[in-house]
Structure 1
Amino acid sequence: MAAVPLSLSADQYSCLLCKEVLKEPVTILCGHSYCMCCINDCWDQTDTEGDYSCPQCKKTFNVRPELNRNIILAELIEKLKEVTAHAGPSQSYAGPDDVPCDICPRRKRKASKTCLTCMASYCDTHLQPHLEFPAFKRHKINEVTGKLEEKLCGKHQKVLEIFCKTDKTCICLLCAATEHKNHKTVTLDEERAWKLSRLEKRRSKINNRIREKETTLKKMKQKLEGIQTPVRSLWTQTQKTTGFICLQGQKR
């Protein structure tokens, strides 16, 4: 059976308190893991002595648990860091002009795809459930896009999936079934294909006109050259004749 690739950015390797990859991980009695310094700081702020609890499951302990480093988890994280370092940065963090992943807990990675069903954008790691689990099979995965609110119907808050050719506007399925019921409608993909086809035909016509103009210009240049050549020849002959006459006059 093939091994499942692990990612250092996966939530199970993150501390719930600082939202970063676990540093000096410790696992308390309920089984949840934290950075040693984070859980110590949390319990140091506990007002009531003997009332220590897990920040995640809220299980309480009468006596402050002794914290021991989780060696296996620490070694696993170190190995994952080495693998990530050798593999190179397969995912980069989102910059000012990038669309950030909506799931990354703290430092957002750059999103690679947008799900128009969930209305959320995902980095490669958090996109995996959409690619692997049947429950997400019918979700509409699109190229990454920002400003998702612009893709929603202002009236029904549904994804704009239909183009109304009568009103020349994008609408949702509920709009198509109600106020646009008797209008001529097509899917966005059909409208896009039709417009691309028209654009291609227009471009072809423009290119044909350009070629025709270039042919006409070439013919005009050839005609002009045909007129200029005899004129230049006549001018040269005239110059020679005039020079000869002047030379004969000087001899006399």
Structure 2
Amino acid sequence: MAEQGFKLDEEKFFCSICLDLLNEPVTTSCGHSFCKSCIRNHWDAEDQKGTYTCPQCRQAFMSRPVLGKNTMLADLVEELKKNVLQAAPHPQHYAEPGDVACDVCTERKLKASKSCLQCMASYCELHLQPHYESPNFQRHKLVEALTKLQENMCSVHSKVKELFCHSDQQCICSVCAMEEHSGHDTVSAIAERTERQRELGPRWQKIQQRIQDREKHMKLLQQQMEAIASSADKAMRDTQTMFNQLHRLVEKRSSDTFPCCSHLNFLSNT
């Protein structure tokens, strides 16, 4: 497959929510496909509104649509992932500083796309395939690649922290919720994250606006300083020019007024 043609095909299989290759693709009734987890999280955030929308075309649904796996698209995406990683990894697939690296890659590590909360390891798309294909991994929980996997496990019960306790303001596991956090106000960790992202959205926009305004102010100030410096340089040059002209004028008038002095000077020199 030619590189240009392959790039075009790859873009068709990207999820418009996470901007990555589709994972467990499902298709809505309006014809748009998303990662199963992405569209679920999107609709979880819309539960309180009572209406659900397509993130791509914004079509509204009065009740939460039932999602079914797009088997044909899933097969195409998996084949595409294999072709990408087995042929020659694109530079963007290599892990850079700040990225989560694959724990299985032995040479130059690829960027991890998922972390497994049962294996406590992160995998690139190539090494993630057994989790999709082997029945032994069906019960494993895959999440977006995490930098600190141990922090997502309960140190007491060795279970995933899937809940958030509002009473104690901390993430807990299901066993914690039944024991020391029994009767507390708890929600799913995903729901809490979505709510906090919604609350922080306007604040983040204000911060970004302040940064942009400050950058504009600094740019304007720099332009003004450059203009002042340029004006000062021009004034210095003009002053020097006027001084030279004045000096020559004084010399000329002095020569015209006292010609004999010039003649005597000449005789004395000879």
Question: Normalised by the shorter chain, which TM-score bucket?
Answer: 0.3 to 0.5
Give TM-score, length-normalised by structure 2. 0.39
More helix by share: 2
Greater C-alpha Rg: 1
